[in-house]
Amino acid sequence: MKGLTKIKICGLFRPQDIVAVNKAGPDFIGFVFAKSRRQVTVDQARQLRALLSPDIAVVGVFQNAAPDLILQITKQEIIDLVQLHGGEDENYLRYIREKSGKPVIKAISVSCPKDLEMWQDSAADYLLLDHGSGGTGQTFDWRQIGESHKPFFLAGGLNAKNIRRAINKTRPFGVDISSGAETDGQKDPEKIHDIIRRLRNA
């Protein structure tokens, strides 16, 4: 994959969104299967995946979903990684990881350094650090991240204006952008291109 800091554009749900990311070239994109205004069905995700460049990995976003649903989607090779945003425990994480054979990303809310410390021995392959329950479009205090030996994605209120500062302060494995790449609730090709250009040229 390209670049030092990986880039994930999350919440794609239209064919034109796929056209935009195919041109811009992030490392990951996200399909949201959890209840959300960006939610996609399995059929929609399958159709969108067929339009996507093979160079871009797909993350499926779930929240307290039935494990069988996740395994059904992974078996169809619609997604390459599983991202969990609910109250999933370590047994759940290990089960999904072992049965699907896919890397698992666990989203956590960070309000103090201990929030990250307690997940350092998690079965998750990656962590995703967000504000509150996620999807708020708001940043959190990056000073609360502290040290992490487990690679993490930084999320929460990231956009073209603050993305480089965020990376310089937190040194994440990757960044996760959703509302920061939108205009009026829909993905904006110019914003996607601008964010990725700024990071690639950093």
pLDDT at position 162 over 80: yes
Among residues 10, 17, 27, 176, the one annotated as catalytic is: 10
CA distances from 192 to 33, 49, 87, 172, 181 (A): 21, 18, 30, 19, 5
Among residues 17, 27, 130, 176, the one annotated as catalytic is: 130
Q: Tokens representing 52?
A: 């996507």
Fold that domain 6-200 belongs to in CATH: TIM Barrel (3.20.20)
pLDDT at position 1 over 50: no
Residue ranges per domain, the chain?
6-200
- Decide: 34 and 61 in contact? Cβ < 8 Å: yes
Reported pTM = 0.93
Q: What tens digit of pLDDT does each residue of 20-75 get? A: 999 999 999 999 999 999 999 999 999 999 999 999 999 999 999 999 999 999 99
